[in-house]
Amino acid sequence: MKKLFFLFLFLPGLMAFGQKPTVQLIPQPVSVKEGKGVFLLTKEATIRYNKADARKVAVDLAEKLSAPTGFPFNVREGKAGTVQMNLLEKADTQLGNEGYILDVTPKSVVISANQPAGLYYGMQSLMQLLPKEIEGKTKTTAKWSVPVVKVVDYPRFGWRGIMLDVSRNFFTKAEVERYIDEISRLKFNTLHWHLTDDNGWRVEIKSLPKLTEVGAWRVKRYGYFGARKPPLPGEPATDGGFYTQDDIREIVKYAQDHFVTIVPEIDVPGHSMAAIASYPELCTTKDTSIKVNPGSSFSEWYGDGTFKMLIDNTLNPSDENVYVFLDKVFTELATLFPNPYIHVGGDECYKGFWEKDPGCQALMKKLNVTDVEKLQGYFMKRVEDILKAKGKKLIAWDEILQGGISPDATVMSWRGIKGGIQAAKMGHYVVMTPTTFAYLDYTQGDPTVDPPIYANLRTRKCYSFEPVPDSVDAKYILGGQGNLWTEQVPILRHAEYMTWPRGWALAEDFWSPKESKNWDNFVTRMENRFDREDVAGVNYARAIYDAIVNTKITDSKMTVTMDSEIPGLDIYYTIDGTMPDSHSPKYNAPFDLPDGPITLRVITYRNGKPIGHLITLNPEQLKTRAQNN
């Protein structure tokens, strides 16, 4: 009895003895006060909004609720809806532009906010409080109850982003919109849209038609991106696509309706092979044989961050025509995207062709610089001047720090957080998106199970991301972002698989109070969300259920260490060539493998049932893993 009392005292409303917690929101709100009872949503419910500006969110809610319930809700202006959306008469400063109060009583649901964005996020929380069947798109039966609760909530950061690369793989307008809808449900408010790269130029620029006539298309290839066959001479380029300016306007409007702002990226001066395939005069080599890259290898990486491009993918900083080109691009782009920021890339720019070019050498002489990095600094400054003339602000990857940056530049820190720290200390605004915590293209489970990538990032690691380093003034950290590069992401369903649940962890990093973060508690909510996404038809990875297997060789003895990302899993393994199950040896401490051509097989169980993928490591893989450790 004492124990039970203890449980109720310390976990109020969270775990009522064997029951699932009633309020399971991602991201975790600032404050949740649970009461007794429920609000029951019936067909008699009325949805009302107090001001015209609240109408759109109220209609959105009605549409979301109508499909699965089959209730034909009417939505009208008014003050006494059983479901009421209110824009506050007097601003609540604590809530800011995106915060909300969600007040559920047995009689009504009231969402209040200063701005429509807050109402929208309150609606997203309300949706998560309804039974999972609410995520369905067709009429079903359920007890549509909402627990009595008062939620007061607002975000920790103003920049809560996800980057989608549509160059390496082209996603259609409908797919991009679906992705925007999905991120907005997690209260992300920024889509960084990587529109150009070596593998495709995706935005129509009317004054430069070849960018999409030529640059949006590559030869069709299958298989591992980066190991594909290069284009053959004369081979037709049939694979790709682009967004017309009408498409862009539609997507921007769709994003605005989901309270997502789009930051377009034109990646220059490197990563520009698609532009150069369209207009070869833009690079120093003026090589007319350059094609849009289909995922074949064209670079060498030396493991220490240095690299060499074997095909020219770099714009020429010493050619005035390049700035005329960029002025055309950014003039049109600026009219399409209302966000003040335009991302101009700046990453992984290879300077080898510049070093050999007389024009670049002459420019360096004129600028009185000896370091070729400074040429990129010059280029970026020219680009920033163009943006400023269009009323736009420059944001770029952290490499721009190497060439010297203007005081107004904003830095996106991706090579760890050190660039972000350096920039913030210089007084620049920063978005933190380090590979180590936020790269959604990395594998999230065992690389013998998940499609292999050169690096790994588990959900738990994403969840441990703290965007504000101790040594910097927090005011310079605008927020954070997860990046989905799509070299190995050929379809939207796999984009979902790579994004979720790591994106849920990042959503919480960027929205929730730092003090409220708790991995075990997040795991419960994550698993609850798995069930909801099954109903919604959204894909996600279940890698959190897989064992983490590591090997180490000391004095020619191989030691195996295993772990699990989430609590409560039992790990079973075999080394005798049989299939493991719950009767196999159970892992409880590191062990040495006997000598011999051994294959290790590992499986996780929970409550006596298999739950993770089978992991099989043959002798070679065991050895490689030890070498990589």
Catalytic residue among 98, 103, 153, 197: 197
DSSP H or E segment with residue 362: helix 358-367
Catalytic residue among 194, 258, 271, 613: 271
| CB 114, CB 102: distance < 8 Å | no
Closer CB to ligand ACM, 341 or 397, in the complex: 397
First vs last Cα of the chain: how many Å apart? 48
Which structure tokens are listed for 79?
Answer: 């003050």
Say whether 223 sits in a helix, a strand or coil: coil
How distant, in Å, are the alpha carbons of 394, 438, 561, 575, 621 from that of 617?
A: 47, 28, 13, 10, 5
What would the x/- binding string for ligand ACM be over residues 338 to 377, using CB under 6 A? ---------xx-----------------------------
Catalytic residue among 239, 348, 398, 399: 348
DSSP H or E segment with residue 335: helix 320-336
Applying CB under 6 A, which of residues 397, 437, 465, 573 lies at the interface with ligand ACM? 397
Q: Cα angle at 423 between 476 and 472, to 5 degrees?
A: 50
197 closest CA partner among 262, 264, 285 = 264
Q: Is 496 in the site for ligand ACM (CB under 6 A)?
A: no
Which structure tokens are listed for 451?
Answer: 């499609």
Applying CB under 6 A, which of residues 414, 465, 510, 605 lies at the interface with ligand ACM? 414
Minimal distance, residue 314 CB to ligand ACM, in Å: 14
What lies within 8 Å, CB to CB, of 411 at 6+ separation is 395, 396, 397, 398, 400, 401, 405, 419, 420, 423, 428, 429, 430, 431
Which structure tokens are listed for 598?
Answer: 């051994």
Footprint on residues 5-44 left by ligand ACM (CB under 6 A): none
Minimal distance, residue 398 CB to ligand ACM, in Å: 8
Minimal distance, residue 383 CB to ligand ACM, in Å: 16
Spatial separation of the C-alpha atoms in residues 208 and 576, rounded to whole Å:
64
Minimal distance, residue 577 CB to ligand ACM, in Å: 41
Instruction: Using DSSP bridges, classify how beta strands 190-194 and 261-268 pair: parallel, antiparallel or unpaired.
Output: parallel
Minimal distance, residue 420 CB to ligand ACM, in Å: 13
Which structure tokens are listed for 609?
Answer: 């049932």
Closer CB to ligand ACM, 118 or 346, in the complex: 346
Minimal distance, residue 399 CB to ligand ACM, in Å: 8
Closer CB to ligand ACM, 305 or 597, in the complex: 305
Q: Counting every residue, how long is the chain?
A: 629
Say whether 57 sits in a helix, a strand or coil: helix
Say whether 442 sits in a helix, a strand or coil: coil
| CB 185, CB 141: distance < 8 Å | no
Closer CB to ligand ACM, 112 or 196, in the complex: 196
Q: Is 399 designated active site?
A: no
Q: Is 197 designated active site?
A: yes
Closer CB to ligand ACM, 223 or 305, in the complex: 305
Spatial separation of the C-alpha atoms in residues 173 and 246, rounded to whole Å:
11
What would the x/- binding string for ligand ACM be over residues 502 to 541, using CB under 6 A? ----------------------------------------
Spatial separation of the C-alpha atoms in residues 346 and 343, rounded to whole Å:
9
How distant, in Å, are the alpha carbons of 6, 12, 26, 128 from that of 9?
A: 5, 6, 24, 25
Closer CB to ligand ACM, 310 or 474, in the complex: 310
Considering CB under 6 A, how many residues would be counted as binding ligand ACM? 4
Q: Is 271 designated active site?
A: yes
Closer CB to ligand ACM, 285 or 435, in the complex: 435
**Tokens 């490197």 belong to which residue?**
270
Minimal distance, residue 194 CB to ligand ACM, in Å: 9
Minimal distance, residue 348 CB to ligand ACM, in Å: 5
How distant, in Å, are the alpha carbons of 47, 300, 439, 495, 502 from that of 540?
A: 32, 33, 16, 9, 9
Minimal distance, residue 414 CB to ligand ACM, in Å: 5
Amino acid letter, 395: I
Minimal distance, residue 435 CB to ligand ACM, in Å: 7
Residues paired with residue 34 on neighbouring β-strands, in sequence order: 149
Other C-beta atoms closer than 10 Å to the C-beta of 601 total: 18
Closer CB to ligand ACM, 82 or 413, in the complex: 413
Closer CB to ligand ACM, 204 or 348, in the complex: 348
Spatial separation of the C-alpha atoms in residues 27 and 160, rounded to whole Å:
12
Spatial separation of the C-alpha atoms in residues 43 and 71, rounded to whole Å:
5
Closer CB to ligand ACM, 397 or 463, in the complex: 397
Interface residues with ligand ACM (CB under 6 A)? 347-348, 397, 414
User: Active-site positions?
Assistant: 197, 271, 348
